Amino acid sequence: MRAEAVRFYNERVQPRHSPRAVLFDLDDTLFDHEQAARSALQRVHESHTAFAAWPFDTFEREHALVLEELHAQVMLGHRSVDDARTERFRRLFAASGVGDNESLVCATAAGYRETYLGARRAIDGALAVLSALKPRVRIGIVSNNLLEEQQGKIRLCGFEKYVDALVVSEAVGIAKPDPAIFRYALEALSCDPGDAVMVGDSWLADIEGAHAAGIRAIWFNRNGRLPPPGAPLVQEIATLTPMEPLMSAIFGDSLSPLDADPRCASA
């Protein structure tokens, strides 16, 4: 990971100034989906001898590939989320040499979901960040997922009172990185692209999508990933605790994270 955040603004992004709105991705930016999913997958891996021949890292990668394919079908409305979950474990059992066993597949999918729900939590520092931002800016969440699923995560994490607009791909029929979904959020927040900042963990969905909409973006890169080859550098942070690096990235190095901006106090 780069030791310091690097500022880059492409030609479609407005010059930097103190924003009136901050947009966030939800999964793995404010909500720790990665941790909950890994806990659930570890339970599955440990519970079935069929998967014992696969090291967990290999099993996790295979699961991620199947999940990505099926999640795209869910987003297009071609599968229900429950059907996609069952299908991915059906495929994993088949890849492990297990013949058709629908009761086993369904029980495994149900056990995965149960563990996932029990392991859900906010990213460390997320609630404190939203609380510090709320007096200064309007806050939006822009997420590729199902509306009910994302609403449940927001309630669980205590984010509701801080979020002014929730824009979810299922509800609007558009997914990141399409700039149109960001425009939905800006309209809901009564904000222009040059007055907003996007914070997210996905380079394609959050960084490229925001830039395409004319919005400055900050990459939440907690796993030290490298950007795509040839991609421009963006300002990035690795953690929400402490919050000062993020606040500095949003408002500028000269601004204290708690300095109120009178333009945003009544936004």
Both 128 and 241 in one domain: the answer is: yes
Task: Give me the number of domains the chain comprises.
Answer: 2
How big, in percent rounded to 5, are the helix, strand and coil portions of the chain? 50, 10, 40
Extract the tokens encoding 218. 């900050």
Given strand 165-168, what is the order of strands in its sheet?
165-168, 138-143, 21-24, 196-200, 216-220, 235-237
Is it the case that residue 15 has pLDDT exceeding 80?
A: no
Contact of 142 with 181, CB cutoff 8 Å: yes
Q: Write the pLDDT tens digit of every residue in 85-98.
A: 999 999 999 999 99
| Total-model pTM | 0.86
* Residue of higher predicted confidence among 261 and 160: 160
- Which residues contact residue 138 at a Cβ distance below 8 angstroms, ignoring those fewer than 6 apart? 20, 21, 22, 164, 165, 189, 190, 191, 264, 267
6 DSSP 8-state letter: -
Q: Is residue 153 part of a domain?
A: yes
Extract the tokens encoding 196. 């907003």
For residue 177, cis peptide bond before it (omega within 30 degrees of 0) = yes
What percent of the chain lies above the pLDDT cut of 90? Answer: 79
- Nearest alpha carbon to residue 213 among 12, 6, 79: 12
Both 164 and 111 in one domain: the answer is: no
Both 92 and 104 in one domain: the answer is: yes
Query: Of 119, 140, 167, which closes a domain?
Result: 119
Both 141 and 197 in one domain: the answer is: yes
Res 75: pLDDT: 80
Res 16: pLDDT: 58
Q: Is residue 143 part of a domain?
A: yes
Contact of 181 with 209, CB cutoff 8 Å: yes
Instruction: Please give the helix or strand (H or E) that residue 142 lies within, else none.
Output: strand 138-143
Q: Write the pLDDT tens digit of every residue in 138-182.
A: 999 999 999 999 999 999 999 999 999 999 999 999 999 999 999
The CA distance from 51 to 115, in Å, is 18
Both 214 and 171 in one domain: the answer is: yes
Contact of 129 with 12, CB cutoff 8 Å: no
Both 209 and 221 in one domain: the answer is: yes
- Nearest alpha carbon to residue 34 among 185, 223, 266: 223
Q: Write the pLDDT tens digit of every residue in 60-88.
A: 999 999 999 998 888 878 899 999 999 99
Both 74 and 134 in one domain: the answer is: no
Query: Of 119, 140, 162, which closes a domain?
Result: 119
Both 112 and 157 in one domain: the answer is: no
Residue 111's pLDDT band (cuts 50, 70, 90): very high
The CA distance from 48 to 54, in Å, is 11
Query: Of 93, 119, 145, which closes a domain?
Result: 119
Q: Is residue 65 part of a domain?
A: yes
Residue 232's pLDDT band (cuts 50, 70, 90): confident
Res 42: pLDDT: 97
Q: Which domain holds residue 100?
A: 34-119
What percent of the chain lies above the pLDDT cut of 70? Answer: 88
CB-based burial label for 144 (10 Å; 0-12, 13-18, 19+): buried
Both 228 and 195 in one domain: the answer is: yes
Is it the case that residue 230 has pLDDT exceeding 60?
A: yes
In the Cβ-directed half-sphere of 195, how many Cα atoms lie within 13 Å? 18
